[in-house]
Amino acid sequence: MTSPAPVSYPLGAPTVVNTSLTVDIALLNPAVITRRIADLTSQRFIVDRVFTGSGVSVAAGAVLYEQMQRDALFMSRNTEQRGPGDEYPILSGTRGPALVAVAEDWGGKFFVTDEARSRNDARFLDQQTTQLANTLVRKVNSRAVETIEAAVSPAGSIEFVTGNDWSAFQVAGSTPTPNRQQPIGDFAKVQALADADELGVTFDLWLVHPTQWEALTIGYGSDLPDTLKAAGIEVFASNRIAPGVAYAVARGQVGSSTTNASSAPKRGGNKPPAEPGFSPT
């Protein structure tokens, strides 16, 4: 049975054994823990792949934004040919209602006992740091997927496509599955629909559940990298995506995100040694 680590103070003075970093030094220099978390979470966030940084301040606690609709891709009237002495017509576009995204601040902290410090229990510190990093990734990825799914509801904002069964295709043998009925057929179909609707985007990233990634790996085998390259896409698997569902998106064009300045890791007083935080909006 597991139990939470108790609070224990004060922390000992930092020491260096040869060139090894002790637990004391890590606790007295929380930036070390922050860098460790950054290393563990690198390339694992869905947010970094589907959203682009807006640079908008969230100091006020919220961000105003507008969600693009399919009928808002063009001006309300067409351009016209201009004759000598004439003027170009004045065109007007359509805008959707202003929406508000409330800033969210997600983070966590853990305690290190005096015993772990005095014994220089680096394994405990590394375990807690790794668990915190994994928990942050899980939460932020869940919020990213929830944001994408929330954009599915408004009419005209997204299109549903019935795909093939990725678990029942073969590319070799005497009766290979036709390309149109393979996953690569889904990749081509979705892009073709976007081109036909003149969306002006290239769906170069697919978000799938690990089950679908497994099916791709088994089905295409060693040819999978060349298959994805030919389709011009990257596949990112995450448990936050529902099994049997895939999201085809244009990398960095799904929307914008703003990272608020998180609380700097710190120690002292009645506070624990580290408080790494992440603030997606």
Q: What is the pLDDT of residues 4-28, one digit of tens each?
A: 555 444 444 445 454 455 666 666 6
- Asked whether residue 120 falls in the same domain as residue 226, the answer is no
State the CATH number of the domain containing residue 214. 3.30.2320
Q: Is residue 10 part of a domain?
A: no
Taking the C-alpha atoms of residue 127 and residue 141, their distance in angstroms, rounded to an integer, is 21
Taking the C-alpha atoms of residue 96 and residue 74, their distance in angstroms, rounded to an integer, is 13
- Asked whether residue 136 falls in the same domain as residue 271, the answer is yes
Domain that holds residue 137: 16-58+100-150+258-278
Q: Is residue 128 part of a domain?
A: yes
This prediction has a pTM of: 0.70
Segments in the chain below pLDDT 50: 7-14, 16, 18-19, 262-281
User: For residue 50, how many other CB atoms are within 10 A of its CB?
Assistant: 23
User: For residue 249, how many other CB atoms are within 10 A of its CB?
Assistant: 21
- Asked whether residue 200 falls in the same domain as residue 229, the answer is yes
Are the beta carbons of 117 and 27 closer than 8 angstroms? yes
- Asked whether residue 221 falls in the same domain as residue 125, the answer is no
- Asked whether residue 109 falls in the same domain as residue 220, the answer is no
- Asked whether residue 188 falls in the same domain as residue 228, the answer is yes
User: For residue 62, how many other CB atoms are within 10 A of its CB?
Assistant: 12
Helical axes 224-231 vs 183-196, angle rounded to 10°: 10
Q: Residue 221 burial by CB count (10 A; 0-12/13-18/19+): exposed, middle or buried?
A: exposed
Q: Is residue 224 part of a domain?
A: yes
In this prediction, residue 32 carries a pLDDT of: 67
In this prediction, residue 192 carries a pLDDT of: 92
Q: Is residue 6 part of a domain?
A: no
- Asked whether residue 39 falls in the same domain as residue 110, the answer is yes
Q: Which structure tokens are listed for 104?
A: 């969210």
